[in-house]
Amino acid sequence: MHWVCPACQRKIPGKVDACRCGYTQTSQPETASVGSSSSRTSHSALVILAVVVVGAGVYWWTRDSSPTTPAAAPASSVATLPATALASAKAAAAAASSRSLETDAESQPRPATDAPTAPVAPPPAEPAPAPATTSPSSSSLEDLVATIGPAVVLIETPTGRGTGFFVRPDTLITNAHVTGRETSVRIRRATGETASARVERVAEDIDLAVLKMDTPAANQSTLTLGSAARARSGEEVVAVGSALGVLQNTVTRGIVSAVRQVGSVTLVQTDAAINPGNSGGPLVNRSGEVVGINSMTMRSAQGISFAIAADHAQQLLEGRQSAPTMSTPVSSLKEVMTSRPGASDPDTARQQATRAFEQAIGQVARRADALDNQWRSFKGSCYEGRVVGSFDHEWFALWDQHAMQGAVSHGCGAAYGDIRRNAQDIRNEVLALEEAARRADVFPGVRRDIRRRYRLDYSAWER
């Protein structure tokens, strides 16, 4: 039985208590530690083997480089090793000794204990990422347009086409100039389905109208009215409408250029393209809120369009409406733009045409007032019956076959013919002036306002 000196790793006979290196064994290892002795023995063998291998390698290297040098005795081989090789051998021996000590420590029997072993707490789990909340403002532009589309419709009337959108399942908002004087309109959804809606309320001074559906769709999509007061310059917006009256649900994108106060009307200026047919459609921000109702664009200036602030639509829905004025947002805005210095040549020409149109209409209005006196005289002496309806001039009834519910008295045919001829002349002159003003690019709203101001606006003339 041998024991291994922990200082120099020599095998020492079991009967000897001291090693040649000076280490003294305090106690003899027990015979039960056969596994430990075998482990130490194997590690010692590895150390010796490593030293021999390194020595042999150095020997062969030295022999090849110095063939004339006689071979050294095996006993002196280690002494002639280069310093680096010797250091490597010592490091390998130290590492093997360290592993041997660790093995010995692991092989020692652990004392038994009755105390329960405390469970090892698992490492804290990494917190799970919070679920991403998707808000309308963070949704993609494609998702936003897909949400808006089903709530926007094409509006068709006998005189034109425009756009409207649902704010409630049975309620739509559009421009007053889209509905005109119609009492009902036809709406066409993006799916191609059509339905009728009645014109419930019109506010021409703010160019807005409210439509009602008698049989609303159960799953009708709607849009939320926001406020132009929260709109900021540079904020991204999209306009949706029926461009040119046929390209339904056309989408254009732009920014809020400014929010302007023109008279009593708040307008949202944008560079989003608003073409004919887009009137009455929504101007929507990235949060999905309607900030304006598309109303007009400046043909002489690129990238300047206007929408009526959604605040006015909300007031109209709630029955709150400002006092009516004689001018529309179009005419008010035009007056502000053309009255400032530096107006362009087209603006100046249009302003002059507007003044000429108003002066000519004023002259025709004086002739219409004179015809009122002639009509009253004729009605009192030559007309048997009554006139049904409300007209700015009662002789407008001559163009309404259901209004004159009576007959001309015998012998009054010449007087009746004179009245009809004078009335026809007034009609023809008003229509001629209207066409001339249109060709001079006087805005439709401005022309309509002037005709109404002089009580010469009668839709039956154009039929």
What does DSSP say about strands 184-188 and 152-157: parallel, antiparallel, or unpaired? Answer: antiparallel
CB atoms within 10 A of CB 318: 8
Q: Which residue has the higher pLDDT, 70 or 400?
A: 400
Beta bridge partners of 237: 254, 285
**Burial environment of residue 9 by CB neighbours within 10 A (0 to 12, 13 to 18, 19 or more):** buried
212, 220 in Cβ contact below 8 A? Answer: no
Residue 254, amino acid:
G
State percent of the chain over pLDDT 90: 20
The DSSP secondary structure of 383-410, one letter per residue, reads: EEEEE-S--SSGGGGGG-TTTEEEEEPT
Confidence of residue 462 (pLDDT cuts 50, 70, 90): low
What pLDDT sits at residue 61?
A: 63
What is the tens place of the pLDDT at every residue in 378-421?
Answer: 888 888 777 877 788 888 888 777 777 778 888 788 888 888 88
Residue 100 has pLDDT above 60, yes or no: no
232, 257 in Cβ contact below 8 A? Answer: no
Alpha-carbon distance of 271 to 285, in angstroms, equals: 13
Residue 32 has pLDDT above 50, yes or no: no
Handedness of CA 194, 195, 196, 202 (dihedral sign): negative
Q: Where are the domains of the chain?
A: 2-106, 137-324, 345-462
Range from 118-127, 196-205, 405-414 that averages highest in pLDDT: 196-205
What pLDDT sits at residue 88?
A: 54
Alpha-carbon distance of 127 to 116, in angstroms, equals: 32
Question: Where would I find the H helices in 299-344?
Answer: 310-317, 329-339
CATH class of 137-324: mainly beta
Confidence of residue 81 (pLDDT cuts 50, 70, 90): very low
Judged by average pLDDT, the poorest of 239-253, 305-319, 342-356, 397-411 is 342-356
**Burial environment of residue 106 by CB neighbours within 10 A (0 to 12, 13 to 18, 19 or more):** exposed
Confidence of residue 300 (pLDDT cuts 50, 70, 90): low
- Say if pTM beats, i.e. exceeds, 0.75: no
245, 281 in Cβ contact below 8 A? Answer: no
Handedness of CA 414, 417, 422, 423 (dihedral sign): positive
What pLDDT sits at residue 46?
A: 67
Confidence of residue 90 (pLDDT cuts 50, 70, 90): low
Residue 164, amino acid:
G
Residue 94 has pLDDT above 60, yes or no: no
Alpha-carbon distance of 397 to 225, in angstroms, equals: 42
Q: Residue written as tokens 């409630």?
A: 168
Mean pLDDT over all residues of the chain? Answer: 75
Judged by average pLDDT, the poorest of 236-240, 297-301, 383-387 is 297-301
